[in-house]
Amino acid sequence: MKFVSEPTYKKYIVGPFERFDDRLTGFSRGRVDPAGSKYEKMHEKSVENIKRKIRGKTVLDHGLWVSGRTVEYVMRQTQYGRESEAQFNREFKVEQLTLNEMTRIIKKVAHWLGADLVGIAKLNRSWVYSHWGYQNAHYCGAGQPGEPIEIAEGYQYVIVLIQEMDYEMIKRTPAVEPDTDLVYSKMGFTACSLATFIREIGYKAIPSVNELGINIAFAVDAGLGEMGRMGLLMTREFGPRCRIGKVFTDFPLEADRPVDIGVQAFCEKCERCSRHCPSGAIKSGERTAEPWDESNARGLLKWPVHAMKCLDWWVKNGSHCSVCIRVCPWNKRATWFHRGVRVLAERDILTKFLVFMDERMGYGRQVIDFFD
Ligand code: SF4
Ligand code: SF4
């Protein structure tokens, strides 16, 4: 891993970059699809799957899936995307600490509250959505669809939080994989509690998970990884098997440096997510600046992901999908063996051979055994 002076996406910017409108994201478009909300349809299909007694999509699996999301729904409706006053201390402000000490304290508290990784970036407002989207407005309610989004000038930093998803649970997908939902709930707890901590020590904080801006870009800026072919954040520790949350704050902090962990060269040679995606939603071959779908941002050379193909598959499947995460060779446990192989992967040494061997050794296969 190398620290770099600017995030690795910078060299792929080829045109003017405008703030992205959340109404154009795949999730948002899926909420207001002319044929009906794709999420409603996905859940109707999940009930059909129960009737058909499909392995991994039974009533037990369904219960597990929905249970994981319980806390997240509450956090969204009451905390995300909102500024709030401190509950008790409106008088004292933490002071006489250096930037370095403040940063160390914030990271320590974030880890204590459950974050597996924490990074800090100066807030790049290019990544803040221009307007509220349908899906985030629907679940969160802090804004209405189409309402402009502005994060007030004082919020100079974004604290980016990463939580790992369970390695065994991810193996279940595209059968019901409830860890995505559980980790959303855990992130809700972590992000909102960190925001409470910051408010109670005299500063401002807005917690958020999917609302307000592009998490992957914030995470790359905060030195937590790079964007991979499948359009997700690739971390050094968990690959794409993680979820991202964030807290915007005026608490003065030291920003982390972005990193190059070798993902760009690796993804050029790998393509495994593209080959295994059940909906054909991940581009193979070279990067392109041509949008493939209305949800693709313009001005960036990348591998576009076709959001509607992906969501249509979720509907057909009756559950969300993480196959691209399951099959990615970077989705590994941190054993000494995998850490050793990662040294090669990060330096683009024998990449094609590593991808070939990864598949031959059975990594990334589906295993549905939680209730067995
Ligand atoms: S979530 Fe599933 S359908 Fe969507 S891009 Fe990943 S593998 Fe393809
Ligand atoms: S599966 Fe391969 S190409 Fe896809 S994101 Fe992972 S490393 Fe990159």
Q: Is residue 371 part of a domain?
A: no
Q: What is the pLDDT of residues 98-133, one digit of tens each?
A: 999 999 999 999 999 999 999 999 999 999 999 999
* Whether the CB of 359 sits within 6 Å of ligand 2: no
Give 86 Cα–ligand 1 centroid separation in angstroms: 40
C-alpha to C-alpha distance for 105 and 64, rounded to whole angstroms: 35
Q: Is residue 329 part of a domain?
A: no
Mean pLDDT computed over 222-235:
98
Neighbours of 98 (CB within 10 A): 10
- Which residue in 325, 68, 298 sits closest to 172, CA to CA? 325
Domain that holds residue 83: 2-263
Q: Is residue 99 part of a domain?
A: yes
Report whether 281 contacts 307 (CB < 8 A).
yes
Q: Is residue 120 part of a domain?
A: yes
Tell me, what's the pLDDT at 17?
Answer: 79
Give 189 Cα–ligand 1 centroid separation in angstroms: 27
- Which residue in 320, 331, 330 sits closest to 26, CA to CA? 320
Q: Is the pLDDT of residue 371 over 90?
A: no
pTM of the full structure? 0.96
Residue nearest ligand 2's atom 6 by CA:
328
* Whether the CB of 266 sits within 6 Å of ligand 2: yes
| Beta partners for residue 158, in sequence order | 121, 248
Determine the residue of 230, 241, 293, 302 to mutate for testing ligand 1's pocket, defined as the one with the most ligand atoms within 8 A of the Cβ atom.
230
Q: What is the pLDDT of residues 17-59, one digit of tens each?
A: 789 999 999 999 999 999 999 999 999 999 999 999 899 999 9
Where is 122: in which H helix or E strand? Answer: strand 117-122
C-alpha to C-alpha distance for 248 and 152, rounded to whole angstroms: 10
Q: What is the pLDDT of residues 268-290, one digit of tens each?
A: 999 999 999 999 999 999 999 99
Residue 306 in tokens: 């076709």
- Which residue in 351, 350, 346 sits closest to 2, CA to CA? 346
Mean pLDDT computed over 173-198:
97
Q: Is residue 282 part of a domain?
A: no
Q: Is residue 283 part of a domain?
A: no
Closest atom of ligand 2 relative to the 230 alpha carbon: 5
The percent of residues in the chain predicted with pLDDT above 90, rounded, is: 95
Query: Using a 6 Å CB cutoff, which residues line ligand 1?
Result: 277-279, 281-282, 305, 310, 313, 321-324
Give 25 Cα–ligand 1 centroid separation in angstroms: 15
Residue 204 in tokens: 């401002």
Residue 349 in tokens: 């040494």
Q: Omega into 174 within 30° of 0, i.e. cis?
A: yes
96 confidence band (pLDDT: 50, 70, 90): confident
Tell me, what's the pLDDT at 369?
Answer: 83
Report whether 195 contacts 247 (CB < 8 A).
yes
CA 186 from centre of chain: 13
* Whether the CB of 303 sits within 6 Å of ligand 2: no
What burial class does residue 54 get, using C-beta atoms within 10 Å of its C-beta: 0-12 exposed, 13-18 middle, 19+ buried? middle
Mean pLDDT computed over every residue of the chain:
96
Report whether 217 contacts 223 (CB < 8 A).
no
Tell me, what's the pLDDT at 223?
Answer: 98
Residue nearest ligand 2's atom 8 by CA:
267
Residue nearest ligand 1's atom 6 by CA:
324
Residue nearest ligand 2's atom 1 by CA:
328
210 confidence band (pLDDT: 50, 70, 90): very high
- Which residue in 27, 12, 5, 253 sits closest to 140, CA to CA? 27
Tell me, what's the pLDDT at 28?
Answer: 96
Q: Is residue 60 part of a domain?
A: yes
The amino acid sitting at 312 is D
Give 247 Cα–ligand 1 centroid separation in angstroms: 27
How many domains, the chain? Answer: 1
Closest atom of ligand 1 relative to the 313 alpha carbon: 3
Three-state SS letters, 220-278: HHCCCCEECCCCCEEECCCECCEEEEEEEECCCCCCCCCEECCHHHHHHHHCHHHHHCC
- Which residue in 36, 47, 83 sits closest to 319, CA to CA? 47
C-alpha to C-alpha distance for 191 and 71, rounded to whole angstroms: 12
Give 8 Cα–ligand 2 centroid separation in angstroms: 16
Nearest ligand atom owner, CA of 287: 2
Tell me, what's the pLDDT at 328?
Answer: 98
Q: Is residue 119 part of a domain?
A: yes
